[in-house]
Amino acid sequence: MRKKIVEVSWVDPTTEAGWIEDDNHTQPLPTLKSYGILVSKSKKLVVLAGSYDPDQKKYADRFKWPTGCVKDIRVIEEVEL
């Protein structure tokens, strides 16, 4: 099975606990990067995995993002799993 090793740039939704001033909405959200095996990509969801077991045909260490949070997916290389 051929899969892509990718770099995903994504916007990190944040939360804040406690009392926050009402004018504290100008801070940009951080853009982060993650790396892994591109398991799937659809209109709603992007899924990466950190590991793959070819004997069991199972992925582990999965990341899932709503596509609205994903800014870019850069292919690093294609591999045979």
Does the pLDDT of residue 77 top 80, yes or no? Answer: yes
1-16 pLDDT tens trace: 999 999 999 999 888 7
The pTM of this model reads 0.85
Cα–Cα–Cα angle for 55, 5, 44, rounded to 5 degrees: 95
Residue 49 near residue 37 (C-beta atoms within 8 A):
yes
Q: Are strands 58-66 and 2-11 parallel, antiparallel or unpaired?
A: unpaired
The pLDDT-based confidence of 69 (bands split at 50, 70, 90) is very high
At 14 the pLDDT is 83
At 25 the pLDDT is 73
User: Structural domains in the chain?
Assistant: 2-12+30-80 (2.30.30.100)
The pLDDT-based confidence of 24 (bands split at 50, 70, 90) is low
